[in-house]
């Protein structure tokens, strides 16, 4: 069972569900307590130990049904189909299998192990052998429907289907000579023929099931790609829910990349001069490697997010993304503004994502229904909060720069840039509209290191990729 749980954990990871080694070990312990007899209890045990986010539940449920109702269920259904074709009740079928076993003891001594298990209806051993064969042919590598026939033939060869066909044909010839009565003999012949066809059907259905496992991630990616180019402004309620899942995954992706990068950079660069000096006693052979002492930097982030009506949908996604960044940096300070500006750092720190977003956007911290005034918000930030910005701080502004013809106070952004490590502006409007009407983007852009259009999910992904690459 532990081997199957490890395989299932790997399958979850392939489909975007993060399952750590510790969580897999927890699943081992939980499954020992629940056992396999109660399917619902077993499912609940794995769900509670392997799934951390609600967005991962649909993938878990679908994969659980495919995996644990998979090959065993296919073999069981194939056996039931044979029984139904012979028009036997459960009791009659069991008596018939007893007769088959007697016949095999007399005439089936030269049969291969799989042929014996097939004819004796030993589903457990059949499942084990088919899984072993599937690993040998690397069935887990199947990705497309067009590959099903190739892998079905490969699996059949690995199982020795041609040999089993020859063995059963020989067994049927021997059956003709046996004195067991015409009715039983006819039933035996039909049983042998149907069992052979059942094995071929099991192989094909199993290959299709394995392909469908890999299909889940593709379907999910296609589902998100369908709305990936749609502007945040025009999303329906159903699409909003899907996008929430996507933004959570994007934040997790950024976390993974940054975590790996930090681990790799802990040692610092290889110091060839110190290495050569330290290894003079060994004739210059570098037994002892030396690295530069890395100065520990504690990067900080300050977020300024426009939450006015015109960009409300975009703001929700941006704030959700910001919420996920909190544990990546030593300090994240988050501010929202329309005209007034207010800090939501503690709100984000002390609440889960949904509660934090609701508090930030419902209007208690600032008046979210006022007319946008970027200049006024920036001036207040410089007056009250400029001390939060230093040379380790990346300032990210999320907004459309629509200022309602108020004073832009772009000098404030210049002062912020002079103190900050970097200023990044993400604008949810099309780049073609910047600088027209009441847009002050052409006044603010010169004071930013990076200005990007960010009005849909795919653009947000590209922006994050640029940030990570930088």
3-class secondary structure, 307: coil
Write the Ramachandran bin of 268: left for phi over 0, alpha for psi from -120 to 50, otherwise beta: left
Question: Which of 52, 68, 84 delimits the end of a domain?
Answer: 68
Joined tokens for residue 230? 């749609």
My answer on whether 450 and 438 are in the same domain is: yes
Q: What's the pLDDT at 135?
A: 87
Domain count, the chain: 3
Residue from 201, 192, 184 nearest 74 by CA: 201
- What is the spatial distance between Cα 201 and Cα 190, in angstroms, rounded to a whole number? 16
Prediction pTM value: 0.54
Per the CB < 8 A criterion, the answer to whether 343 and 381 are in contact is no
My answer on whether 121 and 41 are in the same domain is: no
My answer on whether 318 and 211 are in the same domain is: no
Q: Is residue 200 situated within a structural domain?
A: yes
My answer on whether 454 and 418 are in the same domain is: yes
Q: Is residue 273 situated within a structural domain?
A: no
Q: Is residue 405 situated within a structural domain?
A: yes
Q: What's the pLDDT at 235?
A: 72
Q: Is residue 290 situated within a structural domain?
A: no
My answer on whether 318 and 302 are in the same domain is: yes
My answer on whether 159 and 186 are in the same domain is: yes
My answer on whether 344 and 382 are in the same domain is: yes
My answer on whether 415 and 427 are in the same domain is: yes
My answer on whether 57 and 91 are in the same domain is: no
My answer on whether 101 and 52 are in the same domain is: no
Task: Find the domain containing 444 and state its range.
Answer: 238-264+297-469
My answer on whether 345 and 391 are in the same domain is: yes
- What is the spatial distance between Cα 25 and Cα 226, in angstroms, rounded to a whole number? 37
Task: Give long-range contacts, CB 8 A cutoff, 24+ apart: 127-136.
Answer: 127/71, 127/72, 127/75, 129/159, 130/71, 130/155, 130/159, 130/202, 130/203, 130/206, 131/71, 133/158, 133/159, 134/206, 134/210
My answer on whether 30 and 123 are in the same domain is: no
Tens of pLDDT along the chain (470 residues)? 677 788 788 878 876 677 888 888 888 888 888 877 677 888 888 888 888 777 678 778 877 776 776 788 888 888 889 889 988 998 888 988 888 888 888 777 778 888 888 888 888 888 888 888 988 998 878 877 888 899 999 999 998 888 888 888 888 888 777 777 788 888 888 888 898 899 999 999 889 888 877 666 566 566 666 667 777 767 776 676 666 666 666 666 666 655 555 555 555 667 778 888 888 877 777 777 777 665 555 568 898 999 888 777 777 777 777 776 665 555 788 899 999 999 988 888 888 777 888 888 888 899 988 999 999 999 999 999 999 999 988 898 989 999 999 999 999 999 999 999 999 999 988 899 999 999 999 999 999 999 999 888 788 777 776 665 55
């Amino acid at each position: 069972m532990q081997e199957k749980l490890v395989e299932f954990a790997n399958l979850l990871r392939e489909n975007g569900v993060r399952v750590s080694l510790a969580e897999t070990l927890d699943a081992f312990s939980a499954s020992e307590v629940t056992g396999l007899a109660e399917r619902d209890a077993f499912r609940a045990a794995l769900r509670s130990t392997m799934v951390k986010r609600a967005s991962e539940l649909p993938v878990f449920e679908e994969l659980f049904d495919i995996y644990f109702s998979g090959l065993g269920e296919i073999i069981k259904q194939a056996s039931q189909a044979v029984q139904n074709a012979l028009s036997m009740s459960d009791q009659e079928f069991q008596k018939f299998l007893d007769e088959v076993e007697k016949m095999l003891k007399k005439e089936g001594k030269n049969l291969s192990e799989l042929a014996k298990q097939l004819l004796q209806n030993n589903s457990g051993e059949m499942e084990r052998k088919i899984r072993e064969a599937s690993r040998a042919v690397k069935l887990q590598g199947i990705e497309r429907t067009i590959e099903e026939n190739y892998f079905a033939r490969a699996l059949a060869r690995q199982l020795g289907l041609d040999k089993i066909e020859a063995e059963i044909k020989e067994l049927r010839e021997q059956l003709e000579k046996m004195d067991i009565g015409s009715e039983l003999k006819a039933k035996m012949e039909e049983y042998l023929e149907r069992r052979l066809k059942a094995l071929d059907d099991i192989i094909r259905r199993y290959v299709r099931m394995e392909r469908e496992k890999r299909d889940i991630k593709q379907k999910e990616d296609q589902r998100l790609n369908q709305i990936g180019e749609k502007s945040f402004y025009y999303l329906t309620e159903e699409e909003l829910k899907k996008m929430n899942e996507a933004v959570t995954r994007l934040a997790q992706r950024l976390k993974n990349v940054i975590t790996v990068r930090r681990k790799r950079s802990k040692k610092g660069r290889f110091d060839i001069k110190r290495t050569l000096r330290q290894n003079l006693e060994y004739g210059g052979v570098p037994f002892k490697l030396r690295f530069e002492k890395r100065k520990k930097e504690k990067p900080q982030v300050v977020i300024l997010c426009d939450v006015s009506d015109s960009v409300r949908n975009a703001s929700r996604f941006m704030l959700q993304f910001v919420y996920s960044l909190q544990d990546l940096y030593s300090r994240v300070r988050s501010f929202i503004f329309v005209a007034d500006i207010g800090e939501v750092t503690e709100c984000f720190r002390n609440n889960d994502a949904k509660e934090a977003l609701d508090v930030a956007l419902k209007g208690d911290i600032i008046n979210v229904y006022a007319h946008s005034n970027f200049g006024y918000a920036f001036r207040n930030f410089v007056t009250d909060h400029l001390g939060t910005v230093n040379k380790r701080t990346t300032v990210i502004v999320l907004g459309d720069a629509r200022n309602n013809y108020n004073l832009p106070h772009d000098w404030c952004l210049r002062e912020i840039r002079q103190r900050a490590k970097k200023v990044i502006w993400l604008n949810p409007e099309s780049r073609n509209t910047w600088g027209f009407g009441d847009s002050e983007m052409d006044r603010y852009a010169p004071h930013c290191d990076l200005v990007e259009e960010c009005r849909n999910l795919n653009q947000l992904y590209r922006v994050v990729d640029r940030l990570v690459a930088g």
